[in-house]
Amino acid sequence: MKQDQPRPTPRAGIMDIEAYVPGKSTAPAGVTKVHKLSSNENPLGPSPKAIEAAREVAAKLDVYPDGSARRLREAIAEVHGLNPANIICSNGSDEILGLLAQTYLAPGDEAVFTEHAFMVYKIYIQAAGAKPVAVKETDERADIDAILAAVTPATRIVFLANPNNPTGTYVPFQEVRRLHAGLPKNVLLVLDAAYAEYVRRNDYEAGIELAGSSQNVVMTRTFSKLGLGGARIGWMYGPAHIVDAINRVRGPFNVNATAIEAGIAAIRDRAHIERSVEHNAKWLAWLNEELVKLGLRVTPSVGNFVLIHFPDDKKHSAAAADDYLSAQGYILRRVTGYGFPNALRMSVGTEEANRGVIDALKTFLKS
């Protein structure tokens, strides 16, 4: 043991991790009204039933929550037709992703993900001391053949965001099954279906059936995109042996009491979820059409956001557009860290916000 170090130091590799930077939420000084469109939040807000359930918990905040989140797991199972014993709830789906990396990766192992995938995959892989392997996409879409080609004897996890963030593209489920069939049985396939509720495609599945019938597949989900981003609720469905392993390393009270009650009410409020999905379907299509009319390229999205690509000239670049929109009170997401230095990701917002961004972009592009 070294005795001459002046202070504690992180283990090798930790300081090589690029910290995750969330979307900004503030506008420049003097902007009176702000539309935050940087974090893919639900523009309709939380279910009124979830708000009421959270209020009722306020008088009982001295009491620890149920460490297994049993009632929340039962509510999820009821809605999706699952066995609650195969569900783990978490402090956002991010926590589950980190626990999976912590549990199944060791130094010298490798984990695979696609080049434009959720940035936390790489962070958690590196935090576990393993090697991140980023695979090129084709037309901003996961390439199953490229993923399979990247698998080596050292591979332990494949992360697949489906749909992906920030592109909004998805992989048809027959392709997901082909990916699974091509993986060694000791490789864990993590299907991150954070945006599953919004997908309206006949060839899409979130992964429930595959996770329920395989020994090396899990599906992760979140409540964040349906109005409970601030409550931080995620969940995983998978085989019993993986659930058992994750339960051994997760925090004993990793889902707080307010989140549990709000989550139970939210997932049972199917009318609010349907309103959210209908709103998104309407305005996602509208935004795509209007942005294309402006001469901008949009990556086809099935999520609750659009990836907008800007011209190469400096005057009308993504950075210039971001500055202009922020000054008007419209906060979008720079995605340089995702490999798109000249694009902005825009969450589907309220009608006012959506129309306002399009009007602002019309002025910006004419300038």
The answer to whether position 6 is within a domain reads: no
Provide the pLDDT confidence category of residue 1 given band limits of 50, 70 and 90: low
The answer to whether position 263 is within a domain reads: yes
Q: Are residues 57 and 191 in the same domain?
A: yes
Q: Are residues 182 and 305 in the same domain?
A: no
Q: Are residues 114 and 36 in the same domain?
A: no
Q: Are residues 40 and 54 in the same domain?
A: no
Q: Are residues 91 and 230 in the same domain?
A: yes
pLDDT in tens, 57-93: 999 999 999 999 999 999 999 999 999 999 999 999 9
**Helix or strand run (H / E) with residue 361:** helix 351-366
Q: Are residues 189 and 247 in the same domain?
A: yes
CATH of the domain at 296: 3.90.1150.10
The answer to whether position 3 is within a domain reads: no
Q: Are residues 263 and 275 in the same domain?
A: no
Q: Are residues 259 and 275 in the same domain?
A: no
Number of compact structural domains in the chain: 2
Which of 269, 290, 317 is where one domain is finished?
Answer: 269
CATH of the domain at 95: 3.40.640.10
Token pair 């929340």: residue = 72
Which of 143, 153, 155 shows the shortest CA–CA distance to 179?
143
Which of 363, 365, 327, 278 shows the shortest CA–CA distance to 35?
327
Q: Tell me what pLDDT residue 281 has.
A: 98
Which of 215, 236, 269 is where one domain is finished?
Answer: 269
Using a pLDDT cut of 90, give the percent of the chain over it: 90
Q: Are residues 329 and 355 in the same domain?
A: yes
The answer to whether position 172 is within a domain reads: yes
Q: Are residues 104 and 213 in the same domain?
A: yes
The answer to whether position 277 is within a domain reads: yes
The answer to whether position 285 is within a domain reads: yes
3-state SS string over 12-28? CCHHHCCCCCCCCCCCC
Q: Tell me what pLDDT residue 189 has.
A: 98
What range does the domain containing 328 cover?
14-45+271-366
pTM, two decimal places: 0.95
Instruction: Report how far apart, in Å, the C-alpha atoms of 181 and of each of 184, 220, 236, 310, 335 are.
Output: 8, 20, 21, 39, 33
Token pair 């000084």: residue = 29
The answer to whether position 2 is within a domain reads: no
The answer to whether position 108 is within a domain reads: yes
Q: Are residues 310 and 288 in the same domain?
A: yes
Which of 217, 251, 269 is where one domain is finished?
Answer: 269
pLDDT in tens, 307-360: 999 999 889 999 999 999 999 999 999 999 999 999 999 999 999 999 999 999
Q: Are residues 194 and 332 in the same domain?
A: no
Q: How many angstroms separate the CA atoms of 210 and 133, rounded?
A: 24
pLDDT in tens, 116-154: 999 999 999 999 999 999 999 999 999 999 999 999 999
